[in-house]
Amino acid sequence: MKAFILERYGKKRALRLADMLEPELRDDEVLVQVHAAGVNQLDARIRDGAFKLILPYRLPLILGHDVAGVVVKVGSRVRQFKSGDEVYARADDFRIGTFAEFVPVKEASLALKPQGLTMEEAASIPLVGLTAWQALVEQGELKKGQKVFIQAGSGGVGTFAIQLAKQLGATVATTTSTANVALVKRLGADVVIDYKTQDFESVLRDYDIVLHSQDGKTLAKSLRVLKRGGQLISISGPPAPEFGKEIAAPGFVRLVMRLLSAGVRRKARGLGVGYAFLFMKANGAQLREITRLIEGGAIRPVIDKVFPFESTPEAMTYVDSGRAKGKVVVKVK
Ligand SMILES: NC(=O)c1ccc[n+]([C@@H]2O[C@H](COP(=O)([O-])OP(=O)(O)OC[C@H]3O[C@@H](n4cnc5c(N)ncnc54)[C@H](OP(=O)(O)O)[C@@H]3O)[C@@H](O)[C@H]2O)c1
């Protein structure tokens, strides 16, 4: 099958189109013919080599985490899906590879594609949708009437998280640049801070939850907009020791995590707020909840650009720019 592979780790290293063997299917997996693949910052960070400690992949590697497509084969223990089903998923860690014609996905990570969405729209959802769900619903337990600050509202995670938080009944503040103010307002943001002209710390106070996705300087400031007992959930680091335990990381990796996050954990304790690092996971059951919200009209995909399969490296470069408004998708079939 045709696939885009990473042969060596390295910043901005381009993927190469290659002929690869079709993946062997395990008993609990289905083989999906990829129609569209979402492109994520995670693909770019893995390519850079930034995740070598957490996700030690062997090269060559087919990149790509998000898929929408059609089931063409099912493993012997699969019960919920059959050939011909239209599905979508965040591919499983160590089984990724959606920048290809076929990808295996565990039954437990898969859901039927939301009705009414194109394959490209469906492929834009899983990784960012599950990230927002796991941050706001699972970890944050965000409730009606609470206040949440979602950073980078115009990005892949932000465009989904704003809509989800509004659906949960929260007041939503977000940051974006001048050009994207109208977009985040349309998605439902109540308080919009143009980071080019305003400092969020002087506008926001007593927030229940911050979904942090930016750099360390932003992290320190974000702790101070929380009320006592509030929670900062970071998806851009530093990883906390609990995360090391969760992924059963070796001792030295856990030590690195402990040291990297010591400063922010100390500051959080001093302010009486919580700090958690989240690394999203594939989850078919949560994806079905997301499907329900999409089919009910509460959440809609926000797509910036769709690239043809041959232009997957250009799609990666565009995501790398950090300027995408919503999601970037590759049309494979
Ligand atoms: N831990 C996890 O499980 C997990 C999961 C998903 C994502 N992430 C991480 O979360 C971060 C965001 O991911 P993403 O997919 O949403 O990225 P993305 O789609 O590439 O984000 C691009 C957006 O970020 C905005 N932006 C850039 N700098 C900003 C700033 N200083 N303040 C506010 N907005 C800013 C840009 O808006 P302007 O053009 O207006 O600046 C653009 O719309 C990345 O670091 C990613 O690696 C982690």
Per residue in 64-115, pLDDT (tens digit) is 999 999 999 999 999 999 999 999 999 999 999 999 999 999 999 999 999 9
pLDDT given at position 215: 97
Average pLDDT over residues 148-166: 98
Average pLDDT over residues 158-171: 98
Least confident of 35-49, 63-77, 168-182, 246-260: 246-260
CA of 318 to the centre of ligand 1 (A): 13
Q: What is the pTM of this model?
A: 0.98
Average pLDDT over residues 180-204: 98
Q: How far apart are CA 105 and CA 89, in angstroms?
A: 8
Q: Sorting pLDDT into bands at 50, 70 and 90, what band is 159?
A: very high
Q: Is the Cβ atom of 327 under 6 angstroms away from ligand 1?
A: no
Q: Is the Cβ atom of 15 under 6 angstroms away from ligand 1?
A: no
DSSP 3-36: EEEE-S--TTPPPEEEE-PPPPPPTTEEEEEEEE
pLDDT given at position 297: 98
243: alpha, beta or left? (left if phi > 0; alpha if psi -120 to 50) = alpha
Neighbours of 322 (CB within 10 A): 10
Q: Where in the chain is the domain with CATH 3.40.50.720?
A: 128-277
Q: Sorting pLDDT into bands at 50, 70 and 90, what band is 327?
A: very high
Q: Mean pLDDT for the chain? A: 97
Atom of ligand 1 nearest to the CA of 328: 19
CATH architecture, domain defined by 2-125+301-331: Alpha-Beta Complex (3.90)
Q: Is the Cβ atom of 213 under 6 angstroms away from ligand 1?
A: yes
- Say whether pLDDT at 332 is over 90: yes
Atom of ligand 1 nearest to the CA of 218: 31
CA of 325 to the centre of ligand 1 (A): 10
Average pLDDT over residues 159-171: 98
Q: Are 96 and 64 in contact (CB under 8 A)?
A: yes
- Say whether pLDDT at 62 is over 90: yes
Nearest CA among 141, 208, 140 for reference residue 171: 208
- Nearest-CA residue for ligand 1 atom 4 is 235
User: Which secondary-structure segment (H or E) carries 73?
Assistant: strand 66-74
- Nearest-CA residue for ligand 1 atom 39 is 323
Q: Are 212 and 173 in contact (CB under 8 A)?
A: no
Helix (H, G, I), strand (E, B) or coil at 157: helix
Q: How far apart are CA 111 and CA 118, in angstroms?
A: 15
Whether the link from the prior residue into 23 is cis, omega within 30° of 0, is no
Q: What percent of the chain has pLDDT over 70?
A: 100
- Nearest-CA residue for ligand 1 atom 20 is 322
Q: Are 78 and 28 in contact (CB under 8 A)?
A: yes
Per residue in 130-149, pLDDT (tens digit) is 999 999 999 999 999 999 99
Least confident of 25-34, 160-169, 185-194, 243-252: 243-252
Task: Please give the CATH number for the structural domain made up of 128-277.
Answer: 3.40.50.720
- What CA dihedral angle connects 135, 141, 147 and 148, to 10 degrees? 0
- The pair of three-digit structure tokens given for residue 125, joined into one six-digit string: 């959802």
Average pLDDT over residues 186-215: 98
Helix (H, G, I), strand (E, B) or coil at 126: helix
- Say whether pLDDT at 151 is over 90: yes
pLDDT given at position 53: 87
Using a 10 angstrom Cβ sphere, with 0-12 exposed, 13-18 middle and 19 or more buried, the burial of residue 260 is middle
Instruction: Name the residue type at position 38.
Output: G
pLDDT given at position 12: 82
Q: Is the Cβ atom of 39 under 6 angstroms away from ligand 1?
A: no
CA–CA distances in Å: residue 181 to residues 108, 158, 166, 318:
38, 13, 17, 21
Q: Sorting pLDDT into bands at 50, 70 and 90, what band is 28?
A: very high
Q: How far apart are CA 294 and CA 268, in angstroms?
A: 35
Q: How far apart are CA 90 and CA 97, in angstroms?
A: 10
Q: How far apart are CA 271 and CA 276, in angstroms?
A: 15
Instruction: Name the residue type at position 256.
Output: V
Q: Sorting pLDDT into bands at 50, 70 and 90, what band is 221?
A: very high
Q: How far apart are CA 145 and CA 310, in angstroms?
A: 46
Q: Is the Cβ atom of 163 under 6 angstroms away from ligand 1?
A: no
- Nearest-CA residue for ligand 1 atom 22 is 155
Neighbours of 320 (CB within 10 A): 18
pLDDT given at position 330: 98
Per residue in 115-125, pLDDT (tens digit) is 999 999 999 99
CA of 141 to the centre of ligand 1 (A): 22
CA of 24 to the centre of ligand 1 (A): 34
Q: Are 303 and 156 in contact (CB under 8 A)?
A: no
Q: Where in the chain is the domain with CATH 3.90.180.10?
A: 2-125+301-331
pLDDT given at position 120: 99
pLDDT given at position 139: 98
